[in-house]
C-alpha cells in the first residue's frame, strides 16, 4: 500500500489499542449492512456484514487514483481527524478545520464538490463490484439452482415412472391371480371330465368283458 493510500485510509479509520480498525470516534457509526445468502435446501439465513480490510484497500486505492489537486475534501477530513483529539464540540471542530482549509485557498463549495467526486468514484466501484458479484452468483449459485431444478424434474419423472410401474405390477399380479384361478377351475373341470370318462369307460368295458365271459360260458 502506498504512503498516500495509508494517509487517505487514516482519515476514515484509526487503530485502537488492540490494533483493530475502527471508525473515527466523533463520526456517527453507520449501521452494518445485511445481506442474504440462500443454500440449496435451507431457509434464507441473515448474514451481517462487517468492515473489510480488503475492501477498504480496494476503495481507497480508487480514491488515490482520483485524488484532486490542492487542498480538497480528503485534506479537510484529515484536519477533522486531528482536531478530534482536542476537547471541542463537533461544530467547532468543523469550523476550525474549515478555517485551515480557507487558509489553503479552499472554499466550502470546493470541499463539497471534491467530496462528491469521491462519492461518485465509490459509486462507480460499487457498480463494478455488483457486476462481479452477479457473475459469481450466477457461477456459484445460479448453476447449482439450475442443477437442482433439473434433478427435481428427473426425480419427479422417475417417481411418475415408478408409480406407473407399480400400477403395472399390481395389474399384472391381479391378472396373474385371475389366470391362476382360471387354471385351478380348469384343472378341476378337466379332472372331473377325466374321472367321468374313466368311470364310464370302466363300466362299459366291464360290461363287455362280462358279456365275453358269459358268451364263453353259456354258448358252448
For the chain, the C-alpha Rg in angstroms (whole number) is 49
The residues, any chain, with a CB within 8 Å of residue 56's CB and separated by 6 or more, are 9, 13, 21
Q: Is the dihedral of CA 50, 52, 55, 60 positive or negative?
A: positive
Domain ranges of the chain: 3-29+47-106
Q: What pLDDT, in 10s, does the model give residues 86-128?
A: 999 999 999 999 999 999 999 999 999 999 998 999 999 999 9
pLDDT band at 21 (very low <50, low <70, confident <90, very high): very low
Q: What pLDDT, in 10s, does the model give residues 128-142?
A: 999 998 888 888 888
Amino acid at each position: 500500500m502506498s504512503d498516500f493510500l495509508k494517509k487517505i485510509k487514516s482519515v476514515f479509520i484509526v487503530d485502537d489499542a488492540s490494533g483493530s480498525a475502527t471508525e473515527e470516534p466523533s463520526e456517527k457509526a453507520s449501521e452494518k449492512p445485511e445481506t442474504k445468502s440462500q443454500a440449496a435446501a435451507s431457509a434464507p439465513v441473515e448474514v451481517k456484514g462487517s468492515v473489510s480490510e480488503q475492501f477498504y484497500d480496494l476503495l481507497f486505492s480508487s480514491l488515490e487514483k482520483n485524488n484532486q489537486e490542492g487542498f480538497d475534501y480528503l485534506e479537510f477530513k484529515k484536519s477533522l481527524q486531528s482536531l478530534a483529539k482536542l476537547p471541542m464540540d463537533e461544530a467547532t471542530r468543523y469550523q476550525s478545520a474549515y478555517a485551515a482549509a480557507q487558509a489553503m485557498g479552499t472554499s466550502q463549495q470546493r470541499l463539497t464538490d471534491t467530496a462528491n467526486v469521491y462519492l461518485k468514484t465509490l459509486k462507480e466501484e460499487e457498480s463494478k463490484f455488483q457486476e462481479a458479484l452477479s457473475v459469481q452468483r450466477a457461477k456459484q449459485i445460479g448453476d447449482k439452482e439450475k442443477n437442482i431444478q433439473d434433478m427435481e424434474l428427473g426425480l419427479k419423472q422417475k417417481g411418475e415412472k415408478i408409480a406407473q410401474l407399480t400400477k403395472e405390477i399390481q395389474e399384472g399380479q391381479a391378472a396373474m391371480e385371475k389366470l391362476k384361478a382360471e387354471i385351478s377351475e380348469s384343472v378341476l373341470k378337466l379332472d372331473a371330465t377325466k374321472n367321468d370318462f374313466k368311470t364310464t369307460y370302466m363300466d362299459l368295458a366291464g360290461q363287455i368283458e362280462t358279456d365275453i365271459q358269459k358268451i364263453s360260458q353259456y354258448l358252448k
